Amino acid sequence: GDSVTQMEGPVTLSEEAFLTINCTYTATGYPSLFWYVQYPGEGLQLLLKATKADDKGSNKGFEATYRKETTSFHLEKGSVQVSDSAVYFCALSDSYNNNDMRFGAGTRLTVKP
Amino acid sequence: DAGVIQSPRHEVTEMGQEVTLRCKPISGHDYLFWYRQTMMRGLELLIYFNNNVPIDDSGMPEDRFSAKMPNASFSTLKIQPSEPRDSAVYFCASSTGVNTEAFFGQGTRLTVV
């Protein structure tokens, strides 16, 4: 079945450092890919998405490119801030698999001043 | 729209009691998902509905768990009898399907003592 594998955390960075969180997927069809963010005590919020190969999703300085050849959707940010500290989830939704939303295990990011 | 609404936000109950969690999806969304989040297992998909019909309940841990969606604007997740290991945050999410993002509620933090 469809699945998402993402880099295990926790990840600790200093402010203004470069961030990469790796995400790879397996899917039956042609899924849409997502990154969600969860701040402490809150639900998951959509951060960015990409619906087809080579699409780049971006939001709040975060970017991820849908790479079909490597089945990857790595999250990047050039300069992280303390306020980016949260748990990040990679996810997919596959219309060939009844559109259920599958999530990775989550990666906890802590940014220190 | 107010977004996905879950109630209660917090629930503390004694082992053996029945617990009912409630969810109101975003109007017009055809898909509804129930997730459970714990430190040990991360975010797990329990069950999801399409047009009020359960599509996949393979994530429901055991017969003590049941979910219903009597109409397009309401769903319940019931645990009977509850056990301490059921303690977790339970999220409801909804989407329009077709490779679109899911919108999450704030979650219900369940503690079974």
Q: For A52-100, what is each residue's pLDDT tens digit?
A: 999 999 999 999 999 999 999 999 999 999 999 999 999 998 876 666 7
Read off the tokens for B37: 């989040």
Is residue A54 within 8 angstroms of chain B, CB to CB?
no
Would an 8 Å CB–CB cutoff place B74 in contact with chain A? Answer: no
pLDDT reported for residue B1: 64
What burial class does residue B79 get, using C-beta atoms within 10 Å of its C-beta: 0-12 exposed, 13-18 middle, 19+ buried? buried
The beta-carbon neighbor of B42 closest among A49, A94, A106 is A106
pLDDT at A99: 62
Choose among B73, B7, B89, B101: nearest CA to B40: B89
Question: Which residues from chain A sit within 8 angstroms of residue B4, using beta carbons?
Answer: 43
Question: Burial code of A23-58, b = ≥16 C-beta within 10 A, e = fewer?
Answer: bbbebeeebbbbbbbbeeeebbebbbbbbeeeeebe
Contacts of A89 in chain B (CB under 8 A): 43
Percent of chain B with pLDDT over 70: 97
- Please write the tens of the pLDDT for every residue from A5-61: 998 889 999 999 999 999 999 988 888 999 999 998 888 999 999 999 999 999 999
| Helix boundaries (H) for chain A | none
| Residue B14 pLDDT grade (very low, low, confident, very high; cuts 50, 70, 90) | very high
Pick the residue from chain A with its C-alpha nearest to B96.
Answer: A99
Looking at the complex, report in whole angstroms how far the Cα of residue B85 sits from the nearest Cα belonging to chain A: 19
Contact B31 A99 (CB under 8 A): yes
Q: Which of A34, A44, A99 sits opposite B98 (nearest CB)?
A: A99
pLDDT of the residue at A96: 67
pLDDT tens string B45-97: 999 999 999 998 989 988 999 999 999 999 999 999 999 999 999 999 999 87
Q: Scan for tokens 């053996």, then name that residue.
A: B16
In a 10 Å sphere around its CB, with 0-12 CB exposed, 13-18 middle and 19+ buried, how is residue B109 labelled?
middle
pLDDT at A101: 79
For A101, the closest of B95, B106, B107 (CB atoms) is B95
